[in-house]
Amino acid sequence: MLPRWIEAFPAALPLRIGAKAPNISEQSIAWVRVTDEPVAKTLEAVRRILGGDVACVVLADQPDDEQAMASFAAAAKGYCNTHAAPELLRRIADVVTQGGLWIGESLMHRLMRATIHLPPSAAPAVVAATAWDVGLTEREREVALAVAAGASNKEIARSLDITERTIKAHVGATLEKLGVRDRLQLSLVVNGHRSR
């Protein structure tokens, strides 16, 4: 175990594939460091040891979007750099424990950009073209459109000539008003591929 993992989770138990399963709680997360084996095969082995319902977060020494996509296709709940700071690891654990997914910034932007190109028939329910922005201020609408186009907070702040902190406030208010949980869901609503 790396020192930063021990710092983040002092009570964590190391486990190797093929080892006897320890007793784990329902809230446990399996932090799975991937090697040269395919991610799906590794996660399958972990689930055989710990039980099929264990939440798995994949740790990659050299993260890339393709491996991240393979991880999520294999039902991982998160994907991050093996060498992430302890604070980030704890944030990831909080998100996953609350039922969310931890998707890295690069992959999140890629997914948001992809929502623009989805055919409306691919979605279970289509929002009326103007219905998504009812109740938003003009600035919140501008920010939502930029988020849906895949822009980061920094890029939006630069283009609108306001601070990143203000952008974060607008994004938070927009998420709340639209009843969505994250930027990806916001992108789906804005791009007309999901009902609120």
Q: What is the pLDDT of residues 97-139, one digit of tens each?
A: 888 888 877 777 777 777 666 555 444 444 444 578 888 999 9
Domains of the chain by range and CATH?
A: 3-103 (3.40.50.2300), 108-190 (3.40.50.2300)
Q: Which among 140, 141, 117, 138 is positioned nearest to 193, based on CA atoms?
A: 117
**pTM of the predicted model as reported, rounded to 2 decimal places:** 0.60
Q: What is the pLDDT of residue 120?
A: 53
Q: Which residues are registered as beta bridge partners of 78? A: 57, 102
Residue 157 — pLDDT band, cuts 50, 70, 90? Answer: very high
What is the per-residue pLDDT across 78-98, written as a single tens digit (0 to 9) for each?
999 988 899 999 998 988 888
Q: What is the pLDDT of residue 123?
A: 45
**b vs e for 99-135, b when ≥16 Cβ sit within 10 Å of the residue's Cβ?**
eebbbbeebbbebbeebeeeeeeebeeebeeeebbee
In whole angstroms, give the CA distance from residue 164 to residue 168: 6
Q: What is the pLDDT of residue 35?
A: 81
